[in-house]
């Protein structure tokens, strides 16, 4: 009799644990980081902000050809921090920016790299659903599940953050095109080459 009661208690506890585990798995919190990705030390003397749209070809060139040199010359040496800011020009870019907020910090730069490298492949489509499917594939390769992808895409606070970043940039720096670089809170109006940008930075620092 006691053995049967004990067995029933063990089964009941096992059922409770199973139900609790299923509940946690079905209601897990999706980590959405409502901030702009920063490379380098937060207290660096030089602040470089790059406002970009993921569907902008010139932004892709800047990211792939100039950003690596800026990182090597300024963030790797501790002289500057570089913040990658959202300035979406269309719905496809907006959705890519929203997805970026759910990418783990260690993979964020890789996400930017992949998005720009494959820009001509994913940014074109007959409709936004087709583009979203391509974004989902890129995200999946970086470990983002369909559940997290859909949550990021449909989160109103996430979208509000991305759009508000653009609105504030327009108001504060009069930005109306991408890419735009802001250095120590001043809009950079020179040539977008590593030599010209470096020359400007050396003058102010």
pLDDT in tens, 141-194: 998 999 999 999 999 999 999 999 999 999 999 999 999 999 999 999 999 999
Q: Which two tokens stand for residue 65?
A: 């050809």
Assign residue 40 a region (left: φ > 0; alpha: ψ between -120 and 50; beta: otherwise): left
In this model, does residue 87 exceed pLDDT 50?
yes
In this model, does residue 19 exceed pLDDT 60?
no
The domain 37-204 is classified under which CATH number: 3.40.30.10, 3.40.50.450, 3.90.1640.10, 1.10.287.110? 3.40.30.10
* Per-residue pLDDT, 31: 59
Nearest 5°: the CA angle 83, 89, 90 is 125
Among residues 41, 44, 48, 81, which one has the least CA distance to residue 192?
48
In this model, does residue 26 exceed pLDDT 60?
no
d(CA 67, CA 59): 10
Q: Of the ranges 46-55, 91-100, 123-132, which one carries the lowest mean pLDDT score?
A: 123-132
Question: How large is the average pLDDT for residues 107-116?
Answer: 97
Among residues 97, 102, 93, which one has the least CA distance to residue 131?
93
In this model, does residue 1 exceed pLDDT 70?
no
* Per-residue pLDDT, 34: 78
In this model, does residue 131 exceed pLDDT 90?
yes
* Per-residue pLDDT, 125: 83
* Per-residue pLDDT, 62: 98
The model's pLDDT over 28-79, given as tens digits with 9 standing for 90+, comes to: 445 577 789 999 999 999 999 999 999 999 999 999 999 999 999 999 999 9
Q: What is the pTM of this model?
A: 0.83
């Amino acid at each position: 009799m006691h053995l049967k009661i004990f067995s029933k208690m063990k089964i009941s506890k096992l059922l409770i644990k199973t139900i609790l585990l299923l509940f946690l798995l079905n209601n897990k919190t999706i980590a959405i980081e409502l901030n702009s990705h920063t490379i380098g030390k937060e207290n660096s003397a030089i602040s470089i902000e790059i406002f970009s749209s993921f569907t902008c070809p010139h932004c892709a060139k800047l990211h792939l050809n100039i950003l690596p040199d800026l990182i090597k010359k300024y963030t790797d040496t501790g002289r500057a921090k570089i913040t990658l800011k959202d300035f979406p020009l269309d719905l496809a870019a907006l959705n890519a920016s929203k997805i970026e907020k759910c990418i783990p910090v260690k993979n964020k730069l890789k996400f930017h790299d992949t998005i720009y490298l494959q820009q001509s492949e994913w940014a074109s489509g007959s409709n936004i659903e087709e583009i979203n499917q391509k974004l989902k594939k890129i995200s999946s390769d970086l470990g983002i599940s369909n559940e997290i992808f859909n949550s990021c895409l449909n989160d109103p606070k996430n979208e509000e953050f991305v759009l508000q970043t653009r609105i504030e940039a327009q108001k504060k720096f009069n930005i109306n095109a991408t890419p735009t670089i802001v250095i120590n809170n001043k809009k950079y109006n020179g040539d977008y080459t590593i030599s010209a940008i470096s020359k400007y930075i050396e003058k102010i620092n």
